[in-house]
Amino acid sequence: MSIGTIPRFPLATLPTPLHEAHRLREALGGPERCPRILIKRDDLTGLALGGNKARKLEFLIADALRQGATALITTGAVQSNHARMTAAAARLAGLHCSLVLTTGVEDPPIQGNLLLDHLLQAEVHLVPAPPDKALAVDAAVDETIARVAADLESRGERPYVIPVGGSSPVGALGYVAGTLELVGQLAAAGEAPTRLYYASGSRGTQAGLVLGAKIYSAPYQVYGIAVSGGGADKDARALQNATEAAAMLGIASPVTEADLITDEGYIGEGYGIPTPECLEAIRLLAQTEAIFLDPSYTGKAMAGLIDHVRRGIIKPDETVVFLHTGGVPAIFAHGTRLLE
């Protein structure tokens, strides 16, 4: 079975562009010090201001509809990109959407992704954030999801629960397909990058990227920059998702634990808390390439890439890909810090 035979619900504008960041390279020292950087613009997938979740949701929505679902439930932080895009996908598929969102304050301001959730008329349920601020659900979140599902069922709905970040075997298929797209673009351009950098959160994107890289013989190593803790548990989850996604394609998974590379050196104080280096990366990419990153995911991932350039971990004669997974609406919740 090929990826093209798996049911999809069209949501994304594809293929997304592959953009060479010439001015960013110059700002980082030019060809003598900085590798060529290609940016895969998955912030331009189109659905509700774009982002990587559109690729996952194409497969998840198709699966929900196949199962006869009438409502979606998902979870994330109060500025969750995944929640915003799930709410948008629900609108296009004619489904109800309930969001269980964790927050560190009792009455979070209606801005950024949360504003868009309300504009999309998602049913929002707020839960206190876990103490470690990791991108992980806890007992209170699980209990709220169960309660929301029971309430929907009592109203005659058939709920379909999407895990945090869309991180499931079905969701992982989004970046198996995305890898096929990218490998084709690289081949057409005669490019053979050595690494693909991306923001690693709930690891659903990782499962798809690594599985896709193995299946389609990608020239690069998939290199994740962690944006939250819990590495060991997330490694196990990513490996399981990749294994089950491979089974859906009728193959034994070629992914091993050694393939799951995740650098946890750029998390800072925790998930959703931008580091000074993250804020610098956001400013630098805006001012060189007029491309906006977000403070929870892509800003930290770009900070990791920039640090690797400055420390000489990547050599100037290499080419790398940076997967821009979107998340721009969250930038509006951090305006004061970005302008300091």
- Of 145, 166, 187, the residue at which a domain comes to its end is 166
For residue 146, the model assigns a pLDDT of: 97
Q: How confident is the model over 110-145, as pLDDT tens digits? A: 999 999 999 999 999 999 987 655 444 578 899 999
- List the Cα angle 65/71/72 in 5-degree steps: 90
Opening angle at CA 139, ends 133 and 141, nearest 5: 70
Residue 12: predicted pLDDT: 98
Q: Are residues 23 and 154 in the same domain?
A: no
What is the number of domains present in the chain? 2
Q: Are strands 36-41 and 18-20 parallel, antiparallel or unpaired?
A: antiparallel
Residues 1 and 301: their CA atoms lie apart, in Å, by 33
- 73 & 209 share domain: no
On whether both 119 and 155 belong to a single domain, the answer is yes
pLDDT at position 134 is 47
The two tokens of residue 139 are 């007992």
Find the CATH number of the domain harbouring 262: 3.40.50.1100
What pLDDT sits at residue 135? 46
Question: Taking the model in full, what pTM does it have?
Answer: 0.95
Residue 301: which region, alpha, beta or left (left: phi > 0; alpha: psi -120 to 50)?
Answer: alpha
Structural contact between residues 76 and 101, judged by C-beta atoms closer than 8 angstroms: yes
Any idea which residues carry the catalytic annotation? 80
For 258: left if phi > 0, alpha if psi spans -120 to 50, otherwise beta; the answer is alpha
Q: What is the mean pLDDT of each run of 10 residues along the chain (340 residues)?
A: 93 98 98 98 97 98 98 96 97 98 93 96 93 62 96 98 95 98 98 98 94 98 94 90 97 96 95 93 97 96 98 97 95 80
Residue 335 has a pLDDT of 72
Residues 147 and 26 in one domain: no
Residue 181 to residue 186: CA distance in whole angstroms: 9
Tell me: do 60 and 46 sit in the same domain. Answer: no
User: Please, which residues have CB within 8 angstroms of residue 60's CB and are 6 or more apart in sequence?
Assistant: 89, 162, 166, 168, 170, 171
Tokens of 155: 């109203």
The answer on 173 and 160 residing in a single domain is no
Domain end, chosen from 123, 144, 166, is at: 166
In a shared domain, residues 202 and 325: yes
Tell me if residue 102 falls in helix, strand or coil. strand
Q: Report how far residue 331's alpha carbon sits from residue 79's, in angstroms, rounded to the nearest whole number.
A: 10
Residues 29 and 126 in one domain: no
Taking alpha carbons only, the member of 230, 179, 221, 228 closest to residue 313 is: 221
Same domain? For 207 and 157 the reply is no
The pLDDT score that the predictor gives to residue 138 is 76
User: Are 330 and 186 within one domain?
Assistant: yes
- Last residue of one domain, picked from the residues 166, 197, 214: 166
Q: Which domain holds residue 124?
A: 53-166
